[in-house]
Structure 1
Amino acid sequence: MSWTKFLDDTMKRMGALQKQAPDMFAGFNTMGKAAKKNGTLDENTKELIALGIAISTRCDSCIGFHVKSLVRLGTTRAELCEALEMIGYMGGGPSIAFGAKALEAYDEFTSS
């Protein structure tokens, strides 16, 4: 699977929904900006938390978006893998399987 193509396709689908529900997207974007701003926790830590939730809810799109953000923020492969260990510990087999997807996405996004 190409994570880049998958996220591009996801963005197209979301764009179609955004045309029908612009207020929902505006609200979601405002909430995201507020949640991601640096405070006691930095954005990288918050994105690792978001990735844990994405993996536990088995949302491929969310995994892709949050891994892409982690790459943008300079998260190392070692940091990601350490987070994936905790996520796998807390979520068991399904989280390990979806954590492997997150690592695959990280490897694709950092190779380009």
Structure 2
Amino acid sequence: MYDMNHLKKLGTLSKNASEAMKAFQAFDSIALQEGVIPVKYKELMAVAVALTTQCPYCLEIHKKNAIKAGATQEELAEVTFVSAALRAGAAVVHGTHLMDE
């Protein structure tokens, strides 16, 4: 199911919903461009989110972009564990909903 070749179908998706795709691409481009937060950090954040949402397409794209922006293997490794800690933490604090007082 998760084959990077499916990304070639973005053109078809765009053809069938061109205005929405243009708006998404503009938003995506603006959100990830250099700003107060450097591109490298934005791409590392994108990797962290992709790890928690478990999107293989986002992982591949943003890993490449992070490396291109100067991210190291060590930074990618730390991002992995920050993502894991937050995901695990969310499960723990949601566990409070299961507790009777």
Contact 2:51 2:80 in 1 (8 A): no
Q: One-letter code of the match for 1:64?
A: E
Larger radius of gyration: 2
Partner residue, 1:20: 16
Partner residue, 1:57: 53
| Match of residue 30, structure 1, among 11, 26, 29 | 26
SS in 2 for 1:78: helix
Q: Which runs of 4+ in 1 moved over 2 A?
A: none
Measure, in 1, the Cα distance between the counterparts of 2:6 and 2:42: 22
Q: One-letter code of the match for 1:28?
A: F
Q: One-letter code of the match for 2:61?
A: F
Partner residue, 2:68: 72
Contact 1:54 1:63 in 2 (8 A): yes
Q: One-letter code of the match for 1:26?
A: K
Tell me how far 1:27 sits from its aligned partner. 0.4
Unaligned ranges ≥5, structure 1? 93-112
Report the aligned-residue RMSD.
1.7
Measure, in 2, the Cα distance between the counterparts of 1:10 and 1:41: 31
Measure, in 2, the Cα distance between the counterparts of 1:12 and 1:65: 13
Contact 2:32 2:42 in 1 (8 A): yes
What TM-score results when the alignment is normalised by the length of structure 1? 0.69
More RCO (CA 8 Å, sep 6+): 1
Aligned length: 87
What TM-score results when the alignment is normalised by the length of structure 2? 0.76
Identity across the alignment (%): 26
- Deviation per CA, 1:64-91: give whole Å up to 9, x if none: 1111211221211011111111111111
